[in-house]
Amino acid sequence: MEPTRRPASLAEGEPVRTRSTRITRTGRRRRPSGEAPPLPRALVTGGYWLAATGLVVLLWLAALASRTTNNYILGFDLSLLDWVVRLRADALTDLMQTAHALGSRWTIRVLFWLTVLVLLVFRRFRHLFVFVGAVVGVIALSSLLAYLFMRPRPLGAEILGHWTGAAHPSRPVAVVTATLVGMLYSLAPAGRPRQLGKLVVAVLVAVLSLSLVYLAVHGPTDVVFGAIIGVTIPLVAFRMLAPNEVFPVTYRHGQTAHLDVGGRRGQAIHQALEDQLGIQVVELKPFGLSGSAGSTPLRVCVKGDPNSYLFAKLYAGSHLRADRWYKLGRTLLYGRLEDEKPFNTVRRLVQQEDYALRLMHGAGVRSPEPFGIVEITPEREYLVVTEFVDGAVEVGEAEVDEAIIDDGLRIIRRLWDAGLAHRDIKPANLLVRDGHIHLIDVFFAEVRPSPWRQAVDLANMMLVLATRSSCEQVHRRARLQFNDDEIAEAFAATSGITMPSQLRKAMRDQGRDLHAEFLRLLPEWAPPIAIQRWSIRRVGLMIGVALLALLALVTALSSFESAGLL
Amino acid sequence: MRRLLAALAVCLAAAGCAQPVATELTQAREPACRSQGRQGTVILMAQAVPTASQLPCVELLPAGWSVSDVFVRNGRVRFFLNSDRVGMHAVQVVLARYCTFGRVTRVPSDHPGTRRYQEVISIDPGRRYQGAIHYLFPGGCVTYRLDFRSDEQARPLGEVSLALGFVTRDALRQSLNDFTEGRVPLDPPQRTAP
């Protein structure tokens, strides 16, 4: 397309206001060497449990390996069993045989898959993986130990129940305990529900253990050792991999990307903001959760005269992974578009956002003023703090007149002039306050983007503005800042997937095909720009991902089958 | 992507290492006739079929033979003999209270205190031999299901007869008694083997 002369621009508009937020800062504090960060990673107590259990297991293994102590243990089991066997009565035996069903494979299967289902429904994948791993781990360990010890069933007593394999440790007790403890830590919120749950678990495990000893299916030491394994592995797994302070069990609605900012993390954020930015935090609240899927947005009330607000986005490892998956998905679906290289660390991710904010601000684009990065847990959790655009409404809920349209289009012109692309122009990222549009969420911003990427920004801005006005009006105003070729290029570059989903939904809700309406207004159409990018890398990646997914599925199914969970 | 590839490599390496370790463990837990009191497999077998007066066990494995898939539950015991010449699961050994016979022929038994029955199930000349040997004794029955996939027909049967043997319940009881210094009996007081 031949470049054409740009029409006479509108007045540049009023200069972008800087330092719009009055924030009172007191002294900042540097964390000295050796001092723990605000939210230390090692806030888990699972390590002690693991060490203590490891010691017990080692001592126990040594005791079983020695003929003398082993004979004492067998004798101890037998003497206790003798006493229990003397209590046997028909009615009690029936009762115990019923209780024995608690340890059956079907009970475990039902509990296990029910928990998996609930965790899938609530999209708590971290808890799901820890639960599945802990239960499968307990099954594997108890089976391995049983195979290594090859201990017989209680000797010298008539066995009244069904059994399979060696007796030590008691596999039913270990697996039922692990499943129940896993359910408790993945389904029950911390506090009273979990405390009550612990009682229930203790009673159920005790009943099962008693029944197994009564029926002489297992000896007393078998069930005790089984219970130790069944409690310890899930407990340690949850405390180390999904600590409640960081990944609490809640049943509130919302994006799974959002982290809990209460409890220990909330305190850490308070402390970090005060130490690193020198501000006095009055209140910290999640804000606009529905519009954000890639971070946890927060509104920070800062002490002052009067109090003022800051906006903060909390990024963690889960957001980094989400970003990677998102980019992988886009590469698979469309080929590598541009600047879609995933980030390696959370630090890099927040640095990109902070840099983009400063770039926008420096380029004269009306976007939130950056206030810096706050470290919560080194390399794992950071806050990006910016000005809070107080009193603003989304463009999708605002009155859009010609001044607003001009302002929105001017933002694109400034981005173009500065060699930038925002790449996520949608109603949620355009806030209107005092007759001006503010561009927020600049995480995806790109320096020196391709002309295609810039054209998409223009088309999306025009489409967003048209959702609150008319295509004719937006097109007329756009021709004051962009020539016909540029506008035609914008709509040639834009098709379904280049429009953010929120924008597509807004158009769907209105029952309007704004893209087609704009095309009708163009004096000349440009040929559509293809989005799909095929390369050997993409094909290889598709095959690799398919093979890995297949391998993961086969491995999981094989593990479940050998663990008796299928 | 690098992590995914690393994880894949670790999985493959682990799978490669797991096989020899599993084989070692399997061999260490085989139901050996010689050490009845010292390891639990034969005792577990006795508990699985508490009426059985004889228990199958492994005497001496000829070169190229191994034991796998030892499975013991109340009422039934099963394990396999594998051969590098006639195939995996060449012999399935099953101990139970009762056996189901096909078209069997009684032959002189090579183990005292047992009656031996033999049947040929199918012969695929030069490729496969399938048959069964049943040993009957008071309180139980042991079946060897033979599936030799080679041109040797029934010739490996000689090696199987050398590899497998029986231990009497009385001998096991005595062995356990010696091992535990009389602390632990094999059977409950009111129940003795018939």
| B14 pLDDT above the threshold of 90 | no
Residues of chain A contacting B71 with CB distance shorter than 8 Å: 164-165
Structural domains in chain B, CATH included, are 2-180 (3.40.1000)
| A303 pLDDT above the threshold of 80 | yes
Among A71, A74, A159, beta carbon nearest to B74: A159
Q: Residue A423 has which token pair? A: 């790449």
Residue type (1 letter), B16: G
Residue B22's pLDDT band (cuts 50, 70, 90): very low
Residue A533's pLDDT band (cuts 50, 70, 90): confident
Q: Do A75 and B184 touch (CB under 8 A)?
A: yes
**Nearest of B119, B47, B134, B178 to residue A157 by alpha carbon:** B47
- Helix (H, G, I), strand (E, B), or coil: what is residue A285? strand
Omega prior to A32 cis, within 30 of 0? no
List b or e across B141-157, with b for residues whose CB sees 16 or more CB atoms inside 10 angstroms.
bbbbbbbbbbeebeebb
What pLDDT is stored for residue B36 in this prediction?
55
Mean pLDDT comparison of A56-70, A132-146, A293-307, highest-scoring range: A132-146
Q: Residue B64 has which token pair? A: 């190229």
Q: Do B40 and A151 touch (CB under 8 A)?
A: yes
Strand partners, A430: A439
Å from A90 to nearest chain B CA?
A: 17
Residues of chain B contacting A158 with CB distance shorter than 8 Å: 188, 190-191
Residue A185's pLDDT band (cuts 50, 70, 90): very high
Q: Do A152 and B44 touch (CB under 8 A)?
A: yes
What pLDDT is stored for residue A231 in this prediction?
92
Other beta carbons less than 10 A from residue A201's beta carbon: 21
Among A67, A150, A156, beta carbon nearest to B188: A156
Taking the C-alpha atoms of residue A14 and residue A396, their distance in angstroms, rounded to an integer, is 23
DSSP letters, A311-367, are EEEEE-HHHHHHHHHHHHHHHHHH---SS-PPPSSHHHHHHHHHHHHHHHHHTT---
Q: What is the radius of gyration, based on Cα positions, of chain A?
A: 31
* Tens digits of residue pLDDT in B141-171: 999 999 999 887 778 888 898 899 999 999 8
Strand partners, B143: B94, B134
> Which residue of chain B is at minimal alpha-carbon distance from A69?
B180
Of the candidate ranges A43-52, A187-196, A222-231, the one whose mean pLDDT is the lowest: A43-52
- The single residue listed with the structure tokens 């540049």 is A12
Taking the C-alpha atoms of residue A475 and residue A405, their distance in angstroms, rounded to an integer, is 10
Residues of chain B contacting A551 with CB distance shorter than 8 Å: 8, 11
Q: Give the pLDDT mean for A316-344.
A: 80
A501-to-A109, A420, A427, B9 alpha-carbon distances in Å: 40, 22, 10, 38
Omega prior to A169 cis, within 30 of 0? yes
Of the candidate ranges A200-214, A434-448, B6-20, the one whose mean pLDDT is the lowest: B6-20
Residue A147's pLDDT band (cuts 50, 70, 90): confident
| A235 pLDDT above the threshold of 80 | yes
For the CA atoms of A187, A189, A190, A196, what is the dihedral angle to 10 degrees? -80
Residue A428's pLDDT band (cuts 50, 70, 90): confident
> Which residue of chain B is at minimal alpha-carbon distance from A548?
B8
Residues of chain A contacting B191 with CB distance shorter than 8 Å: 158
> Which residue of chain A is at minimal alpha-carbon distance from B12?
A551
Q: Do A71 and B44 touch (CB under 8 A)?
A: no
| B15 pLDDT above the threshold of 70 | no
Å from A140 to nearest chain B CA?
A: 13
Average pLDDT, chain B: 81
Residue A93's pLDDT band (cuts 50, 70, 90): very high
Among A159, A162, A165, beta carbon nearest to B72: A165
Query: What's the sign of the alpha-carbon dihedral A268, A273, A278, A280?
Result: negative
Q: Do B73 and A163 touch (CB under 8 A)?
A: yes
**Nearest of A345, A289, A357 to residue A319 by alpha carbon:** A345
Among A147, A158, A161, beta carbon nearest to B29: A147
Taking the C-alpha atoms of residue A173 and residue A177, their distance in angstroms, rounded to an integer, is 6
For the CA atoms of A162, A163, A167, A173, what is the dihedral angle to 10 degrees? -70
| A154 pLDDT above the threshold of 50 | yes
Q: Residue A562 has which token pair? A: 């050998």
Strand partners, A164: B73
Residues of chain A contacting B47 with CB distance shorter than 8 Å: 152-153, 155, 159
Pair A349, A459: CB distance under 8 Å: no
| A430 pLDDT above the threshold of 50 | yes
**Nearest of A407, A385, A384 to residue A395 by alpha carbon:** A407
What pLDDT is stored for residue A195 in this prediction?
92
Q: Residue A381 has which token pair? A: 């959790």
| A13 pLDDT above the threshold of 80 | no
Taking the C-alpha atoms of residue A59 and residue A282, their distance in angstroms, rounded to an integer, is 53
Q: Give the pLDDT mean for A100-104.
A: 89
Pair B70, B43: CB distance under 8 Å: no
Å from B100 to nearest chain A CA?
A: 23
Residues of chain A contacting B184 with CB distance shorter than 8 Å: 71, 74-75, 78, 155-156
Q: What are phi and psi of B62, to 5 degrees?
A: -65, 160
Burial bucket for residue A340 (CB in 10 Å: 0-12, 13-18, 19+): middle
Taking the C-alpha atoms of residue A262 and residue A245, their distance in angstroms, rounded to an integer, is 9
Q: What are phi and psi of B90, to 5 degrees?
A: -70, -35
What pLDDT is stored for residue A95 in this prediction?
93
- Helix (H, G, I), strand (E, B), or coil: what is residue A375? strand
> Which residue of chain A is at minimal alpha-carbon distance from B4?
A548
Pair B121, B99: CB distance under 8 Å: no
Strand partners, A375: A382
- Helix (H, G, I), strand (E, B), or coil: what is residue A198? helix
Residues of chain A contacting B29 with CB distance shorter than 8 Å: 147, 150
Taking the C-alpha atoms of residue A85 and residue A215, their distance in angstroms, rounded to an integer, is 8
| A385 pLDDT above the threshold of 50 | yes
Q: Residue A135 has which token pair? A: 């239960």
Q: Which residues of chain A approach chain B closer than 8 Å at the C-beta?
A: 67, 71, 74-75, 78, 147-153, 155-159, 161-166, 548, 551, 555
| B189 pLDDT above the threshold of 80 | no
Å from B183 to nearest chain A CA?
A: 6
* Tens digits of residue pLDDT in B28-64: 578 888 865 566 889 999 999 999 999 999 988 888 9
Residue A336's pLDDT band (cuts 50, 70, 90): low
- Helix (H, G, I), strand (E, B), or coil: what is residue A525? coil
Among B43, B74, B188, beta carbon nearest to A163: B74
Q: Do A147 and B41 touch (CB under 8 A)?
A: no
Residues of chain A contacting B11 with CB distance shorter than 8 Å: 551, 555
Residues of chain A contacting B188 with CB distance shorter than 8 Å: 156-158
Taking the C-alpha atoms of residue A376 and residue A354, their distance in angstroms, rounded to an integer, is 16
Q: Do A155 and B189 touch (CB under 8 A)?
A: no
| A444 pLDDT above the threshold of 80 | yes
Q: Do A78 and B41 touch (CB under 8 A)?
A: no
Pair A309, A300: CB distance under 8 Å: yes
Å from A135 to nearest chain B CA?
A: 19
What pLDDT is stored for residue B25 in this prediction?
47
Å from A216 to nearest chain B CA?
A: 11
DSSP at A148:
H
Taking the C-alpha atoms of residue A344 and residue A241, their distance in angstroms, rounded to an integer, is 21
What pLDDT is stored for residue A21 in this prediction?
55
Mean pLDDT comparison of A3-17, A138-152, A528-542, B65-79, highest-scoring range: B65-79
Q: Do B176 and A155 touch (CB under 8 A)?
A: yes
Residue A257's pLDDT band (cuts 50, 70, 90): low
Pair A170, A212: CB distance under 8 Å: yes
Residues of chain A contacting B25 with CB distance shorter than 8 Å: 147-148
Among B11, B40, B183, beta carbon nearest to A152: B40
- Helix (H, G, I), strand (E, B), or coil: what is residue A370? strand
What pLDDT is stored for residue A3 in this prediction?
46
> Which residue of chain B is at minimal alpha-carbon distance from A168?
B40
Q: Do A71 and B183 touch (CB under 8 A)?
A: yes
Pair A24, A304: CB distance under 8 Å: yes
Å from A19 to nearest chain B CA?
A: 42
> Which residue of chain B is at minimal alpha-carbon distance from A547?
B8
Neighbouring residues of A257: CB distance < 8 A, sequence distance ≥ 6: A292, A293, A294, A295, A296, A318, A319, A322
Taking the C-alpha atoms of residue A121 and residue A68, their distance in angstroms, rounded to an integer, is 53
A378-to-A41, A238, A276, A313 alpha-carbon distances in Å: 8, 22, 13, 16
Among A150, A159, A162, beta carbon nearest to B39: A150
Å from A468 to nearest chain B CA?
A: 43
Pair A125, A318: CB distance under 8 Å: no
What pLDDT is stored for residue A457 in this prediction?
93
Strand partners, B168: B54
| A18 pLDDT above the threshold of 60 | no
Is the overall model pTM greater than 0.80, yes or no? no
Q: With helix as H, strand as E and coil as C, how does chain B read?
A: CHHHHHHHHHHHHHHHHHHHHHHHHHHHCCCECCCCCCCHHHHHHHHHCCCCCEEEEECCCCCCEEEEEEEEECCEEEEEEEECCCEEEEEEEEEECCCCCCCCEEECCCCCCCEEEEEEEEEECCCEEEEEEEEEECCEEEEEEEEECCCCCCCCHHHHHHHEEEEEHHHHHHHHHHHCCCCCCCCCCCCCCC
Q: In the Cβ-directed half-sphere of B109, how many Cα atoms lie within 13 Å? A: 14
Give the whole-number percent of chain B exceeding pLDDT 70: 80
Among A71, A153, A551, beta carbon nearest to B181: A71
What pLDDT is stored for residue A20 in this prediction?
52
| B5 pLDDT above the threshold of 70 | no
What pLDDT is stored for residue A560 in this prediction?
80
